[in-house]
Chains A and B, each alone.
Chain A
Amino acid sequence: MTTSTSPTPHAKTAVGNPRPSPQWWLTLAGAVLLVASAFLSWCYVPALLGDLSIDAYPGGLQLLMVIVGVIAIFFLVLRSGRMPSMDTLLDSARALKALSATAAGFMVLVALVIALQAPGLANANPGLFVGIVGAALMMAGSWQMASDPLVDPITVRLPSWVEILVIVVMMAIVLFGAAYALGQEDGTVFCLFLAFLGGVVAALARGGLFSWISVIAARHRQVLMMGALAVAFLFPFTQNGSDANMSIATQVLIFATTALGLNIVVGLAGLLDLGYIAFLGAGAYVSAMMSHSAFAHIGWKPPFIVVVVIGAIVSSILGLIIGSPTLRVSGDYLAIVTLAFGEIFRLTVNNLDGNNGPRLTNGPNGIPGIPDLEIGSFNFGDTHTVLGIPLGRFANYYFLMLVVAAFIIMVFTRLNNSRIGRGWVAIREDEKAAEAMGVNTFGLKLFAFAGGAFLAGMAGTIKAHQDVSVTPDQYIFLESAFLLAAIVLGGMGSVAGVLVGATVLKLLPEKLRFVADYRLLIFGLLLVVMMRFRPEGLVPSQRRALEFHADDEELADRIEEVHLEIAAEPDSAEAKA
């Protein structure tokens, strides 16, 4: 790939300011003050918000404001016209407005926390007020800044090493952000971190960074995938053997993996499956019944790899059975059929205790005491030390799940870009038209069900060992609804979206204990609000977004353009082949 300049390269430099305006200086002063405030003490009380009381050594939350300040200064430098190629890509005025609003909101929140918990604003130190003034100056300065016309990122091409570097930096930020967020024990600090994160992400999105990144990510798909995998792989090494966070991370990963499987059915083929958790359950029950648990009533104990295959196959047979009505029913009816099927599964495993039907699942008590996995001489229950860093039980399962997740992502993307995937999209958008075009709709729908079930069954076999026990109440309808919510929240049909959605939905209740009781309430509300205001999800696949905004001509043109551009690219075409 060679460096090429954009077709309209210098549209902006003529418009841009050669000499910074007073507003520019004002905003700069605000950003500098904000950064400076982080080096002062904010509060007398060391116990509050992870100790903000030390001068000259920014700690915890103060670092976040340094980050905001530095990003703001970066955008200000852009605005002064020193980096024309970047300047045409990013809308610094909108980004600065959002950044200063974030800073101001954050400082006010910190002040409120100090006022309420210290208690009293009398405990605030000058640093806090310096920060508030800085944020206010930033707001005042950026308020009147005019947006400059932007160039569509698709037409801009920076040297490819720059683009790859951007992706790598993004990945590193994700890794450290995740490690930092998980490290926060204090609910208030975690909330403030989330507020900061939301504000900065919104600011960068308004600045157009993400539309640019999505273009370069599409150009360097392989780099992105490898980077993401590397980040996920490195994560356990940041935890110093602490099992608390790894347990959460493993749960998130299992949840995300299952959601990815469901995303094939819902996101790609557009078949709403409300009983998907049953497939996970089928895998888990197969695995439990063939394990060495004292409550497993099947005499045959094959090696784990065989169990994985059997679990996946049993699950996909169930998928075929439940998928077969798709020949006759569609849409809402199908959703209800799958829901009924999920209930039948739950009731059946609840009943098969020997009194009602054969003794297989031990009824409501489930199958407890499933031993840890042992593959070869590697026992998943033991702590292993790699490069001096201890990796505990959950880290072991985490790595195993990571392999499964990578496999599912690979299957997902390959299918998505294949004839089958295009068939699914055609069915999703208009089944009758697809059929008329010669798409084998019934076969493909059945395949979506069986394939999704296969992947879930696979994940289930591992989940049983990770959880130590399987019980019917792990596989209730609400879990299916949760999976669906992850997909809806993140973005249907997009891998990144589902990962984001699953992480948010699993991580928040774990970290915010006070939210835990209200989590279902919030989650119900979330589904309604998302459908109302952003049905395509937080990180949508663009095709999917178009279906929800059918009359958005601009979006349609853009998707076509991206599609053509990426199709024309030799190396990414290779990646798809």
Chain B
Amino acid sequence: MDLFFQQLLNGLTLGSLYALIAVGYTVVYGIVQIINFAHGEVFMIGAFGALATWTVLFQGQTSLWVLPLMIVGAVAASVVVAVLMERIAYRPLRHAPRLAPLITAIGISVFLQEAVRLFYPGAKSALPFPRIDIVTGPALQLGEITVRRSAIFTIGSLIVCAALLWIFINRTKLGRGMLAVSQDKDTARLMGINVDRIIAVAFGLGAALAGVAGVAQGLQNNNIDFFMGFLAGLKAFTAAVLGGIGNVMGAVLGGLVLGVVEAMAVQFIPGTFGGSPWKDVWAFALLIIVLVFRPQGLLGARVVDRA
């Protein structure tokens, strides 16, 4: 049973990471109905933003007060990239056929990976992520269960971010504007909402959470690399679909479910097809199964009828 709870915890940690990224897919999809395939790269940029902040300003520091500033650096980097991406690449394609933004997204994705690999010093191989007091260090023991400190940070940031997100969407003017635009763009425009600005905000919002996720991932894995966004992005997209794309709280739930399923698959699928080499296969198989049998996701969103 301890094994079960241990894997549940591992799954929730992984799932929190997926959930933080998945929100970006779902917010953007809810508003402009495009899959921002390059969102995984925004997450990667966030991690590098945090590392750059640390390297430039606090090289060698390990105290806790550095962490918020690193998060600010990460969020700033990913938000700037995401908003620029929207402005330069996606906005001109708003009325293009469906294929166009998706291909653009693949282009951006490859471009960002390569830009980091080529131009960030030393990024051709994995770079070590700084150790921070309190949030990294020896794991805690809760009975038989090992709790890594970074796991607490990851799950904690999901809780804080989800709460802030809920408040933002439901309690602020901008957030309600987003709801209005996602329901009906033209009417929202007639009501005096600046739709372009709302779309930029949606991209920025997703990117901010992805930036936080980038820091969390760095603390978890101890190192970051330019390719980390691809798989994480794909998994997070799976999570968004699982929860019902377009539904923000669905993305959070989907992320957690996906993380737990993955962790359980590693532990409990018997025989040679279990274990970590196959966990990604099971995650993607889950994506395909969900898309085929319940494309509206667990919590449900508007039914997809887009060709």
- A and B interact physically: yes
Interface residues of A (CB under 8 A from B): 266, 270, 272, 274, 324-325, 328-333, 335-337, 339-341, 343-344, 347-348, 350-351, 355-358, 430-432, 477-478, 481, 484-485, 488, 517-518, 520-521, 523-528, 531-532, 535, 547-548
How many Å lie between the Cα of A324 and that of B292 in the bound state?
9
**Quick check: B281 and A356 within 8 Å, CB to CB?**
no
How many Å lie between the Cα of A329 and that of B291 in the bound state?
7
- Residues of chain B within 8 A (CB-CB) of A430 are 307
**Quick check: A333 and B307 within 8 Å, CB to CB?**
no
**Quick check: A527 and B102 within 8 Å, CB to CB?**
no
- Residues of chain A within 8 A (CB-CB) of B293 are 328
- Residues of chain B within 8 A (CB-CB) of A357 are 272-273, 278
Q: Taking each of B100, B106, B230, B280, which has the highest tally of chain A beta carbons within 10 Å of its own beta carbon?
A: B106
* Given A340-B238, A356-B278: 20 more A-B contacts, CB < 8 Å: A329-B295, A331-B304, A332-B102, A335-B102, A340-B287, A341-B288, A348-B281, A351-B278, A357-B272, A478-B110, A521-B110, A521-B118, A524-B107, A524-B108, A524-B112, A527-B106, A528-B104, A531-B89, A535-B96, A535-B97
| Min CB gap B19→A, angstroms | 18
**Quick check: B281 and A344 within 8 Å, CB to CB?**
yes
Mostly, the B contact residues are helix
**Quick check: A344 and B284 within 8 Å, CB to CB?**
yes
> Are A337 and B100 also in contact (CB < 8 A) when A527-B107, A532-B93 are?
no
Residue of B nearest to A487 (CB): B103
B200 within 8 A of A: no
**Quick check: B111 and A328 within 8 Å, CB to CB?**
no
How many Å lie between the Cα of A325 and that of B108 in the bound state?
27
| Min CB gap B31→A, angstroms | 15
Q: Taking each of A324, A488, A531, which has the highest tally of chain B beta carbons within 10 Å of its own beta carbon?
A: A531
Contacting residue for B103 out of A339, A348, A356, A488, CB 8 A: A488
How many Å lie between the Cα of A521 and that of B109 in the bound state?
10
Contact with A along B20-61 (1 / 0, CB 8 A): 000000000000001100000000000000000000000000
- Residues of chain B within 8 A (CB-CB) of A329 are 291-292, 295, 304
Contact with A along B250-286 (1 / 0, CB 8 A): 0000000000000000000000110101101100110
B115 within 8 A of A: yes
How many Å lie between the Cα of A541 and that of B241 in the bound state?
34
Q: Taking each of A348, A520, A528, which has the highest tally of chain B beta carbons within 10 Å of its own beta carbon?
A: A528
How many Å lie between the Cα of A521 and that of B112 in the bound state?
8
- Residues of chain A within 8 A (CB-CB) of B275 are 356
**Quick check: A527 and B110 within 8 Å, CB to CB?**
yes
**Quick check: B288 and A431 within 8 Å, CB to CB?**
no
**Residues from 72 to 107 in B contacting A, C-beta threshold 8 Å:** 89, 92-93, 96-104, 106-107
**Quick check: B241 and A336 within 8 Å, CB to CB?**
yes
**Quick check: A330 and B307 within 8 Å, CB to CB?**
yes
- Residues of chain B within 8 A (CB-CB) of A340 are 234, 238, 284-285, 287-288
Contacting residue for B273 out of A356, A484, A523, A548, CB 8 A: A356
Residue of B nearest to A521 (CB): B114
**Quick check: A272 and B102 within 8 Å, CB to CB?**
yes
> Are A521 and B111 also in contact (CB < 8 A) when A355-B272, A356-B272, A357-B273 are?
yes
How many Å lie between the Cα of A341 and that of B285 in the bound state?
8
Q: Kindly state the interface size class of chain B when it binds its partner.
A: 35 or more
- Residues of chain A within 8 A (CB-CB) of B101 are 531
Interface residues of B (CB under 8 A from A): 34-35, 89, 92-93, 96-104, 106-115, 118, 230, 234, 237-238, 241, 272-273, 275, 277-278, 280-281, 284-285, 287-288, 291-293, 295, 304, 306-307
A-B contact list, 25 entries, CB within 8 Å = A266-B99, A272-B102, A324-B292, A328-B293, A332-B34, A340-B234, A340-B238, A343-B280, A344-B281, A344-B284, A348-B281, A350-B277, A351-B281, A431-B307, A517-B118, A521-B118, A523-B107, A524-B106, A524-B107, A524-B110, A524-B114, A531-B96, A531-B103, A532-B92, A548-B96
**Quick check: B108 and A528 within 8 Å, CB to CB?**
yes
Contacting residue for B89 out of A328, A350, A478, A528, CB 8 A: A528
> Are A344 and B285 also in contact (CB < 8 A) when A432-B307, A477-B230, A527-B106 are?
yes
How many Å lie between the Cα of A358 and that of B115 in the bound state?
39
> Are A333 and B295 also in contact (CB < 8 A) when A348-B281, A521-B118 are?
yes
> Are A343 and B35 also in contact (CB < 8 A) when A325-B291, A356-B277 are?
no
- Residues of chain A within 8 A (CB-CB) of B306 are 330-332
| Min CB gap A532→B, angstroms | 6
How many Å lie between the Cα of A355 and that of B35 in the bound state?
37
Contacting residue for B118 out of A331, A481, A518, CB 8 A: A518
| Min CB gap A428→B, angstroms | 9
How many Å lie between the Cα of A336 and that of B241 in the bound state?
10
How many Å lie between the Cα of A547 and that of B104 in the bound state?
17
How many Å lie between the Cα of A266 and that of B102 in the bound state?
13
What 3 pairs across the A-B complex have the smallest Cβ distances?
A527-B107, A524-B111, A524-B110
**Quick check: B304 and A525 within 8 Å, CB to CB?**
no
Residue of A nearest to B274 (CB): A356
- Residues of chain B within 8 A (CB-CB) of A532 are 89, 92-93, 104
